[in-house]
Structure 1
Amino acid sequence: MEDSPVLLAELRPNREQPYEWKASCETWSVAFSPDGTWFAWSQGHGIIKLIPWPLEEDLLRPQGYSQCFKVKEVKGHGSLKEKTLDCGRIVWSLAFGSSSTKTGWKLWPRSWHQEVGPPGTLLLLATGLSDGYVKVWNVHTGRVLFNLTGHKDVVRDLSFSTNGSLILVSASRDKTLRVWDLKKDGKMLQVLSGHIQWVYCCSISPDCSMLCSAAGEDSVLLWSMRSYTLIRKLEGHRNSVISCDFSPDSALLVTASFDTTMIMWDPYTGEKLRAFLHVSLPPAFDYSNAEPQLSSLRSVCFSPEGLYLASLADDRFLRVWLLDVEDPVSVAPVTNGLCCTFFPHGGILATGNRDGYVQFWTAPKVLSSLRHLCRKALRCFLTTYQVLALPIPGKMKDFLTYRTNL
């Protein structure tokens, strides 16, 4: 087993909360901006902290969080200052989206021209709220740009396209997903119906061709992001599917369920490649009087280079997995963890918990092999069917489609 994740810092809200909000202190979502310069923390009670990254050295300490941040100089972005966003409702989901002025600037709404921050990039933060609204904020100014309405219940997850188009997908407990075009003043493009239970999560593939959604039922739906039609249903879980994520090259999809398993899929063929079972009490920890048991999952995500998975389960452990190894390669105790995400440049994991805390952990930071880099480059533009049609040996096809580790 590799070295266990080491706790680098713990951020805690240090403001008194209204008595009637005592049951809404959870950190349901955390996120890093795509360029790694901001961290968004839903600290409960409707409050979001936008924190410049990296943290100041004197804040990298486990004992707590100071409200008084120093101004952090970030190369190429000027002085970034912490911001507090008051959403007025419980925040269930967060997602960053960005677009450059180099792409279609003249077609943007005129009112947006003053919203662009240095260096010519519009960086947005979408927040999904308990009343069904989606508020979209300008990160540089802290102003609300949109209040998107249409959902009838909690907006449980959000996902932005990564191609700068500012297409946003929202997933709600009203059993639907909605697709919004923020460059067209937040126009709702499509309502996707097909789930029979609360929709827990959604994820747009990095190549922006597919959308995954999962709900209280035991199946996962894959949609086309071009036609907004259903591609296929993935069946294999035996309980609610709570979290999903695509690999950086879009060649893999991972889903996590209350049935205690993570399943890794080929999204192009629908094939189940492998399953990871969450058995409580990893062997690195000594609990001599406890019986091993299965544990429901809360969150799963791919590392930025696509070689690792991170997961949080109800047994209060953070696990890090290699794609082709059945057991976790490292574990760390996390109290009441609800969500996890990798820093986009690797090396750090952030987790949020039920008490409104955020913890930052060391994560594997690897130099990818030439074989993996070649596979990743090819899979960014080749589907599984296109790989299988190549005139190359079968072992190479298996490696390129993640069936084996060549």
Structure 2
Amino acid sequence: MTAGVRRQLLALDAARYGDRELSARITAVPVEGEPAAPWGVEWATGSQLDRSVRRIPTPHSTDALLAVATAVLDGRPVAVTGSSMAVGGGSERTVRVWDLTTDQQIGEPLTGHTGEVCAVAAAVVDGRPVALSGSGDRTVRVWDLATREQIGEPLTGHTAAVAAVATAVVDGRPVAVTGSGDRTVRVWDLTTREQIGEPLIGHTHGVCAVATAVLDGRPVGVTGGHDKTVRVWDLTTREQIGEPLTGHTAAVRALATGVVDGRPVAVTASEDETVRVWDLTTGRQIGRPLTGHDGWVLSVVTTTIEGRPCIVSGGEDWTLQVWDLATGEQVGEPVNGHTDKVRAMTTAVLDGRPHVIAGSQDGMVRVWDLTTAGQVGEPPTGHTGEVNAVATAVLDGRPLAVTGGADGTVRVWDLTAGRQIGQPLTGQDDWVSAVATAVVDGCPVAVTGSNVRVWDLSTREQIGEPLTSDEEGVQAVAVAVVEGRTLAVSGGADGTVWVWDLATREQIGQPLTGHTDEVNAVTTAVVDGRPLAVTGGDDGTVRVWDLTAGDQVGPELVFPLPVCAVAVVPDGRLVVGFGWEVAVLARR
């Protein structure tokens, strides 16, 4: 590839690895003989990347960073990290302190552990900010963050690696709660530096994670282990509260606690690839486990939810995921309910709330309220094959959905009543791969592929002959209004993009060429007053076309996998679905 293309791919990968600043620096690098990069990657998901290689703002430089905690030192926010760092032929087990304002390490590493540092936590003891570290050497050490010296002798008692450390206040005293591979949980008085009572016993395998919370006014410890359970302990009486929380099917590796709607909760992460939220008062799981896409992203749309611009993506893993467009963070739980791949989506506003209409390979069309993340009514049924395409329209003041399926039919649905209107629209000799809607001469119409057909939604009859033959295999369709004319833009299996005048039913100009494989996705937008089409294809490229001039705008954007979905945000940003990932790019 050319240096310009390599620059863009490296910037995309930096964003996927979580380093936006590096991505911006790469994009800004001048390349001899190439224009400045017109697009920069704002953020991208990295679901195909192991979490251990995602960027951490203040990493240990040469080996695994195993633990992170935060504290305040001299009014500055700092991070405390622990690792097992390779040095030459041996290793150096260190604790490091980082200034989170400057991203710089503060002083030299804190050394003393003879095993890897598995866990760190922070507390305030006698007015001094301290850090605690648990290690594979079976000890817990306490460090004065101001002087950067170890306080006293290590805390000993565990007979296996200390895998987890948390802190709390019990009866006005700062304490540490530690979990170990020896299956025990121990509580330590940080003022006297002595163990309080006997170890807490109950886990049948090693304890991997510890957090603390306040439950009904009582300080509690929450622990997770290799035995797949989560347990809650009263730190005052040092007894287990209730039965273990069960549901994970593999070791519980991480824990956090918080308060949601006034209720104390625990959030657990497991080797079973799920995240679960638990109500600590009732001891019950809240909602479903949280997961990310486990397969290809096949469709993507943008919308606004409670004032936040968001992306909704649908995938091969049967789920819808909602992402905050500004931060790239997933919003809420995945929307589940489909029983096969989510191949097509569109959005609508019903009763003042944003909804998404999703079509799936299970042949079902489902309507989801994006505010509540709940399904609206029963899914409309009718298609006997997968639903490949969805669009919305308004007819006589009623919001409609128009769907196309592998059964060769186009169906029209009343979104208010949740039922199909009349008989399916038939005539297609192959599956309907794309649907878009428009208004032509005051008449609402639907435009469909795999050959381009135009349907009158009022009479529900086809208007004229198809614009293309079945052999041309139209994969994607979008509509636009250019200089007062309503146009259809179609992308084909042969890699070409065609533009059609829907009033005259004639092709405008020559096909737009550049893609070297099937065009899977087409969308249109108006940016800076210029009507554009954006296309994505199996060749891994996204191309932007000026619909007035009929030319490509700037160089193509290149992705490492086939592009399955594209969308345009009103401010001109691009959303691209490729492989398992979603990326957002902005014009520089």
Instruction: Normalising by structure 2, report the TM-score.
Output: 0.47
Partners of 2:36 and 2:476 lie apart in 1 by 25
Tell me: CA distance 1:171–1:277, structure 2 relative to 1, closer, same or farther (3 Å): same
Structure 1, gaps ≥5 residues long: 18-22, 60-65, 68-80, 101-120, 281-293, 365-406
Query: Could you give the per-residue CA deviations for residues 93-120 of structure 1, whole angstroms, max 9, x where no partner exists?
Result: 11111135xxxxxxxxxxxxxxxxxxxx
Looking at CA atoms only, which structure, 1 or 2, has the larger radius of gyration?
2
| Residue of structure 2 in register with 1:111 after alignment | none
Matched, 1:134 2:168: no
Partners of 2:43 and 2:565 lie apart in 1 by 16
Matched, 1:348 2:573: yes
> Aligned ranges for residues 192-211 of structure 1 at < 5 Å?
192-205=425-438, 209-211=444-446
Partners of 1:142 and 1:296 lie apart in 2 by 34
Matched, 1:49 2:49: no
Quick one: higher RCO (CA 8 Å, sep 6+), 1 or 2?
1
Per-residue deviation, 1:304: 3.6
Matched, 1:26 2:296: yes
Per-residue deviation, 1:3: 4.7
> Aligned ranges for residues 1-400 of structure 1 at < 5 Å?
3-13=37-47, 16=273, 25-33=295-303, 37-52=309-324, 54-56=325-327, 59=328, 81-86=331-336, 87-100=338-351, 121-146=352-377, 147-161=379-393, 165-205=398-438, 209-215=444-450, 219-236=451-468, 239-248=472-481, 251-279=486-514, 294-305=516-527, 307-323=531-547, 324-335=549-560, 336-343=562-569, 345-354=570-579, 356-363=580-587
Partners of 2:38 and 2:473 lie apart in 1 by 29
Partners of 1:296 and 1:328 lie apart in 2 by 20
| Residue of structure 1 in register with 2:259 after alignment | none
Per-residue deviation, 1:236: 4.5
| Residue of structure 2 in register with 1:106 after alignment | none
Amino acid at match of 1:89: D
Query: Could you give the per-residue CA deviations for residues 163-183 of structure 1, whole angstroms, max 9, x where no partner exists?
Result: 873201111000001100021
Tell me: CA distance 1:248–1:124, structure 2 relative to 1, closer, same or farther (3 Å): farther
* SS across alignment from 2:398: coil
Tell me: CA distance 1:13–1:162, structure 2 relative to 1, closer, same or farther (3 Å): farther
Query: Could you give the per-residue CA deviations for residues 338-358 of structure 1, whole angstroms, max 9, x where no partner exists?
Result: 111111x1321111122x211
Contact 2:544–2:556 (CA under 8 A) maintained in structure 1:
yes
Contact 1:161–1:206 (CA under 8 A) maintained in structure 2:
no
Amino acid at match of 2:568: F
Q: Percent identity?
A: 18
* SS across alignment from 2:297: coil
Contact 1:97–1:161 (CA under 8 A) maintained in structure 2:
no
Query: Could you give the per-residue CA deviations for residues 295-327 of structure 1, whole angstroms, max 9, x where no partner exists?
Result: 321111111456111111222211111121434
Tell me: CA distance 1:172–1:225, structure 2 relative to 1, closer, same or farther (3 Å): same
Partners of 2:418 and 2:495 lie apart in 1 by 41
- Cα RMSD over matched residues? 2.8
Partners of 1:149 and 1:320 lie apart in 2 by 36
Partners of 2:534 and 2:390 lie apart in 1 by 19
Amino acid at match of 2:332: E
Partners of 1:352 and 1:98 lie apart in 2 by 23
Tell me: CA distance 1:127–1:327, structure 2 relative to 1, closer, same or farther (3 Å): closer
Give the ranges of 4+ consecutive aligned residues of structure 1 lying more than 6 Å apart after TM superposition.
none
Amino acid at match of 1:55: A
Tell me: CA distance 1:37–1:248, structure 2 relative to 1, closer, same or farther (3 Å): farther
Tell me: CA distance 1:227–1:2, structure 2 relative to 1, closer, same or farther (3 Å): farther
Contact 2:315–2:343 (CA under 8 A) maintained in structure 1:
no
* SS across alignment from 2:407: coil
* SS across alignment from 2:510: strand
Structure 2, gaps ≥5 residues long: 1-34, 49-271, 275-292
Amino acid at match of 2:384: K
Query: Could you give the per-residue CA deviations for residues 360-401 of structure 1, whole angstroms, max 9, x where no partner exists?
Result: 11249xxxxxxxxxxxxxxxxxxxxxxxxxxxxxxxxxxxxx
Q: How many residues matched?
A: 299
Tell me: CA distance 1:303–1:2, structure 2 relative to 1, closer, same or farther (3 Å): farther
Partners of 1:268 and 1:274 lie apart in 2 by 15
Tell me: CA distance 1:88–1:334, structure 2 relative to 1, closer, same or farther (3 Å): same
Contact 1:153–1:174 (CA under 8 A) maintained in structure 2:
yes
Contact 1:4–1:332 (CA under 8 A) maintained in structure 2:
no
Partners of 2:468 and 2:380 lie apart in 1 by 34
| Residue of structure 2 in register with 1:388 after alignment | none
Tell me: CA distance 1:34–1:261, structure 2 relative to 1, closer, same or farther (3 Å): farther
Partners of 1:55 and 1:162 lie apart in 2 by 30
